[in-house]
Amino acid sequence: MTDKDARTPARWHKSYVEGSRPDIRVPMRQVHLTNGRSVSLYDTSGPYTDPAAATDVRRGLPPLRQHWIVARGDTEEYPGRPVRPEDDGIRHTSPRGGLRNLDAVFPGAPRLPRRSREGGPVTQLAYARRGEVTPEMEFVALRENVSPEVVREEIAAGRAVLPANVNHPEIEPMIIGKRFLVKVNANIGNSAVTSSIEEEVEKMTWATRWGADTVMDLSTGRNIHTTREWVLRNSPVPIGTVPLYQALEKVEGRAEELTWEIYRDTVIEQAEQGVDYMTVHAGVRLAYVPLTAGRKTGIVSRGGSIMAAWCLAHHKESFLYENFEELSEILAAYDVTYSLGDGLRPGSIADANDEAQFAELRTLGELGRVARRCGVQTMIEGPGHVPMHKIKENIDLQQEICDEAPFYTLGPLTTDIAPGYDHITSGIGAAMIAWWGTAMLCYVTPKEHLGLPDRDDVKTGVITYKIAAHAADLAKGHPGAQEWDDALSDARFEFRWEDQFDLSLDPVTAREFHDETLPAEPAKTAHFCSMCGPKFCSMRISRDINERFGGDAAAGSPEEIAEGMLQKSKEFAARGNQVYVPLTERPEQFETAAD
Amino acid sequence: MTDKDARTPARWHKSYVEGSRPDIRVPMRQVHLTNGRSVSLYDTSGPYTDPAAATDVRRGLPPLRQHWIVARGDTEEYPGRPVRPEDDGIRHTSPRGGLRNLDAVFPGAPRLPRRSREGGPVTQLAYARRGEVTPEMEFVALRENVSPEVVREEIAAGRAVLPANVNHPEIEPMIIGKRFLVKVNANIGNSAVTSSIEEEVEKMTWATRWGADTVMDLSTGRNIHTTREWVLRNSPVPIGTVPLYQALEKVEGRAEELTWEIYRDTVIEQAEQGVDYMTVHAGVRLAYVPLTAGRKTGIVSRGGSIMAAWCLAHHKESFLYENFEELSEILAAYDVTYSLGDGLRPGSIADANDEAQFAELRTLGELGRVARRCGVQTMIEGPGHVPMHKIKENIDLQQEICDEAPFYTLGPLTTDIAPGYDHITSGIGAAMIAWWGTAMLCYVTPKEHLGLPDRDDVKTGVITYKIAAHAADLAKGHPGAQEWDDALSDARFEFRWEDQFDLSLDPVTAREFHDETLPAEPAKTAHFCSMCGPKFCSMRISRDINERFGGDAAAGSPEEIAEGMLQKSKEFAARGNQVYVPLTERPEQFETAAD
């Protein structure tokens, strides 16, 4: 499918809900139905789907939040850390220096980085605790259809995070917490083996177009700094990273050469660029490494294995754990949100919920308390591979140990036997764990365990996870969640095919699938579909029954109902009991197909 | 993908486990691993995947069970009901008589139908109650790796069914019950709008090749009788139908013209052909119809809507309900298993678990008791569209009301918003309800609500549902279920890529996905993949750690562990702390991709 399909769909338009001030404009996807009604849906696609907004990836998105940040007066611009060649993985020692393409440097207007003026926390958590409802909080309140006070309370209590680096003014604020809509993250990122800067930016806009609420840039190859700059400047959603990956590139992949100074420098580099949340594997402590020795699949988290290797090489406690308080003060000065990584998550059904995993989880709970004391918003990352019967124990323990900090889970995958379909093995676990309280789901694509996702894999992963997230919103009884299902089911029952397509998570595919068997235009209004054919359509029979009975017939005593039914069935008979289209009235295109 | 890919895979062969007698040979899929071990998996694909077996769809499969049936001496051959033109939907009144292609009549050797000699039940249920372990029971015991006595007990108690019509001797026996592996059904069937006999037979063999345990032929167009004959004679798995569809064809789609006599004649016609289980919507009673009037999507079951229309037209109780005992005696004489249809199942999230659904369920419980009293094996069909938080109530109520009779559910779909992806919306619900006790899952394809599934849709639907079924087997702790996951995870951790592919539910797709990014042969043995690239592979780092620690390091007091670790890390350092492949050692094909 082409961008056009998604960017300019036939019958919906971008609308904005205005807040208490004209510069608070919350984007919505307004779907216009053929019955005159319209339905508005949560929209993550940013200005790209607004024909009125002229976007240019070489200029970047408008800095929506810039004056909110400046107006708070608690941050200041400063020269910032100079960008060095090694930030893009270029070294004199390297046989292959130079950017892949030198014109790749982001051409948009340069902006000085900002940070806390006094060094104290300039975070949404700090503001919420002070009782302030920021424009960002009002924005998400309108977006989630809850009161701003609920948003402030949840953030203040540490039960929700609003990732919004002061150096990423381009984002449309969103919130992650169990009292809000379940969110979905999509991973992008080149690796040593494949893909380019352009592809990564395109993957980001593509993922948000289909509903990704945040995007993680997990690049590990060259041009990491430059790729990230392009992604950040063009992203309407919060961007997450794993600074450890870039730090490792700076020491040419030799884990034992990592130092706190190199890591710290990398975190500042990324904070100045505007990364909104960072995965930090500070829970992988020296003493936990042996706990993984007896596992079937050892350590499958990249960050976890790197830190384990470092701890072994030096036989020292993790430098992330040792310097966690200082690290927290840095993040607080930019409002970077922690995503405390589960470096020891299980990589197979056999290793689920073992001692290594839970030992680390207890440490993450402890670190979360340190982080919040420093004013840093904090999420906790979760597994991994977990069979269905062990999922609840997982989230219940996380909520208890981590003081209800937002849980951010990968899957979990409910079986190991289906490489090529792990978006499904994990979508099952994701829906369940989200129902039970997970705040954000990290998507898994069909390529998991096998290769890097391409454009179609990214879309399939996002759609699958939007299904899991919405199924959980329904199960949690999130206010308004069911309206979407109801609108689509009404359209289905009334044979408003175009409305059914337009209300779908993926209108393009729904329309394509329908047209494969019934391409002719008349079929778009036909009172049946190719599944049962005209004579067997249960929905039309059932609508027939509805018309003859009306809702009222269900009321009254058994006798009254029986009497009412007798009446109705007489009318029914009087009209010739016709519940089907006689063969002779069947439109020609089905005749031919039928014989 | 081609048939060949699936029929003659590189490194597995068909093996047979022999029972107490040489003619009990249970097929297994024996996967040979590169480490010399082998894993045997449940195999539904029939003789088609056995190079030693010469199959010919025009001759049909060998009648494996024929002499078991004859040996019991309780059945006899008889002339049977003459096949009439209207059995294939051909009428003098029709402007378009004649089979689509006259040579379509099944050319295999004709066989006289059999039925009970004295008219009493000749069912696996009757034998089990008498304490007999039939060859069929021994066959499934070996297939499920449980004792034959457990099989007999579960069948005798009505908690499991072994669908095996005396006129379908071609099947490899299988069992459906919560104490056994969760099964998956695939629907095929032409409709008035599209598809041919050849396609239906091909869909059946294709579905079983990927793991379908039973197949339902839901044909509604012309050539119903002939299509079914071809499918039955070539099917290694039990075949289910909905006789009401063909009966309606015989009255040219006028529901009110249906009679008990026409229906009864159709049931006998199909029983003589060898249909193993029949969906009967006898629970749709006159008094329940008004309960659907207030629904968002009314009645979405075809059978349910047809019976509701009949009840209204005549203002009479359902002829299926009224004649249920006689119907049961007919089914008992052929060992046709009941699948009591949920004609009032919800068709949207809004209608889930409503009074109409549960009123019918109570009636199904009552009918199940009548059926078993007549010696008929019985399953109960379930919803439909149900949000996650209402699924447990559903199965718990079914198990209580229906005396633990096997539950056979469609999905359930956990949201309405994703047409085009309903294999996923329903796969989520299917995994959960199977974990909680559903015995068989009816698959849903990506085309649900939109069109008729093609070959690829059938495969996607089956694979998705095999995932849900296996995830449930794991959660239920089914003996041996996790061995499959463990074998694949071992292969993954040891970078035995070919083994990982061969152990996958879909080896073809797993291999294709891997080769997309790393096509070169060396990559098949490479100790990393394209996701992280050579420098970042967590698994190799982790294996490194494993080698240095061994399982033993995890034992002993904290001091001992610390001491052991100190030792290990010295060795580690001595070996140059090497956890990555140095850039210079990276194979050329990655260099090019990396720059």
Closest residue by Cα to residue A91 from A253, A200, A203: A253
At residue A225, the 3 state secondary structure works out as: helix
- How does residue A107 score in pLDDT terms, banded at 50, 70 and 90? confident
Q: Number of A:B CB contacts under 8 A?
A: 509
Q: Is the pLDDT assigned to residue A165 strictly greater than 50? A: yes
**Judged by CB atoms within 8 Å, which residues 203-262 of A form the interface with B?**
220-222, 245, 248, 252-256
Does B593 sit within 8 Å of A517, measured CB to CB?
A: no
Residue B19 has a pLDDT of: 97
Q: Considering CB atoms only, which of B421, B452, B542 is closest to A467?
A: B421
Give the pLDDT confidence score for residue A219 in this predicted structure.
86
B535-574 burial code (b ≥16 CB/10 A, e <16) = bbbbbbbbbbbbebbeeebbeeeeeebeebbeebbeebee
Q: Does residue B367 have a known ligand-binding role? A: no
For A457-494, write each residue's pLDDT tens digit. 999 999 999 999 999 999 999 988 999 999 999 999 98
* Mean pLDDT, rounded, for A438-451: 95
Q: Which amino acid belongs to residue A391?
A: I
* pLDDT digits 0-9 by tens, B66-78: 999 999 999 999 9
| Tokens coding B513 | 């996905």
Inter-chain contact A314–B221, Cβ cutoff 8 Å? Answer: no
Residue whose structure tokens are 């070959």: B455
Of B129, B216, B117, B131, which is closest to residue B166 (Cα–Cα)?
B117
B431 CB within 8 Å of a chain A CB: yes
Q: Are A382 and A344 in contact (CB under 8 A)?
A: no
Return all residues near B380 (Cβ < 8 A) that are at least 6 apart: B339, B340, B342, B361, B364, B365, B368, B398, B402, B405, B406, B407, B408
A255 contacts in B (CB within 8 Å)? 541, 577, 579-580
For residues B268 and B330, is the Cβ–Cβ distance under 8 A?
A: yes
B223 near B99, Cβ under 8 Å? yes
| Confidence bin at A401 (pLDDT 50/70/90) | very high
B129: left (phi over 0), alpha (psi -120 to 50) or beta: alpha
Residues of B in contact with A297 (CB under 8 A): 489, 492-493, 539, 542
d(CA B384, CA A149): 39
pLDDT at A10 over 60: no
Lowest mean pLDDT among A117-121, A573-577, B174-178, B422-426: A573-577
Side by side, the strands of the sheet bearing B38-42 are B12-18, B25-32, B38-42
Write out pLDDT tens, residues A48-94: 999 999 889 899 999 999 999 999 999 999 999 998 888 987 754 44
B484 touching chain A per CB within 8 A: yes
Query: Which of chain A's residues have a Cβ under 8 Å away from the Cβ of B509?
Result: 420-421
Residue B385: partners with Cβ closer than 8 Å, 6 or more residues away: B346, B347, B348, B349, B351, B352, B411, B412, B413, B416
Please name the residues in contact with B492: beta carbons below 8 A apart, sequence gap of 6 or more. Answer: A297, A348, A416, A449, B500, B539
Q: Nearest CA to CA, how far is A569 from chain B (Å)?
A: 5
How far is residue B253's CA from residue B256's CA, in Å, rounded to a whole number?
9
A224/A230 Cα distance (integer angstroms): 10
The region of weakest confidence among A10-24, A261-275, B367-381, B514-528 is: B514-528
Rg of the Cα atoms in chain A: 27
Whole-number pLDDT of residue A593: 26
- Helices marked H in A315-454 — which ranges? 319-322, 324-332, 355-373, 391-401, 422-435
Cα Rg for chain B, rounded, in angstroms? 27
- Amino acid (one-letter) located at B565: M
For residues A193 and A259, the model is more confident at A259
DSSP 8-state symbol, A288: G
Residues of chain B with confidence (pLDDT) below 70? 1-10, 91-103, 191-195, 518-540, 542-595
For residue B382, the cross-strand partners are B409
Collect all residues of chain B within an 8 Å Cβ-Cβ radius of residue A552: 293
Which 176-195 residues of chain B touch chain A by CB within 8 A?
191-194
Is B587's Cβ below 8 Å from some Cβ in A? Answer: no
Nearest CA in chain B to A595: B100
Tens of pLDDT, residue by residue over A178-207, are 999 999 999 998 755 555 778 888 999 999
Query: Quick one: pLDDT band at residue A452, thresholds 50, 70, 90?
Result: confident
Residue matched to tokens 């002499």: B67
Query: In this predicted structure, what is the pLDDT of residue B527?
Result: 58
Q: Checking phi first, is residue B53 left (phi over 0); if not, alpha (psi -120 to 50) or beta?
A: beta
Nearest to A309 among B447, B541, B586 (CB): B541
Among B484, B533, B577, select the one facing A313 at the smallest CB separation. B577
pLDDT higher than 90, residue A374: yes
pTM of the model: 0.91
Would you tell me which residues 495-524 of chain B have a C-beta closer than 8 angstroms to some C-beta of chain A?
500-501, 503-506, 509-510, 512-514, 516-518
Cα separation of A222 and A99, whole Å? 8
β-bridge partners, A76: A115
B389 chain-A contacts, CB cut-off 8 A:
435, 474-477
pLDDT-based confidence at residue A106 (cuts at 50, 70, 90): confident
Reported as type and span, the H/E element at residue A14 is strand A12-18
pLDDT category of residue A22 using cuts at 50, 70 and 90: very high
Q: Does B41 touch chain A (CB under 8 A)?
A: no
What is the token pair recorded at A80? Answer: 């910032």
Q: What average pLDDT is seen over chain A? A: 87
User: CB-based contact (8 Å) between B490 and chain A?
Assistant: yes
B504 contacts A417? CB cut-off 8 A: yes
User: Once rounded to an integer, what is the mean pLDDT over residues A112-138?
Assistant: 97
Whether A435 and B291 lie within 8 Å, measured CB to CB:
no
pLDDT band at A101 (very low <50, low <70, confident <90, very high): very low
Question: For residue A215, which of A275, A160, A167 has the smallest C-alpha distance?
Answer: A275
How many other C-beta atoms can be found within 10 angstroms of the C-beta atom of residue A86? 17
Of A193, A536, A573, the CB nearest to B533: A193
What average pLDDT does this structure show over A397-423?
A: 98
B289 touches chain A (CB under 8 A): yes
Which pLDDT does position A528 carry in this prediction?
Answer: 57
Kindly state whether A551 is in contact with chain B, defined as any CB-CB distance less than 8 angstroms.
yes
Residue-level pLDDT at A1: 35
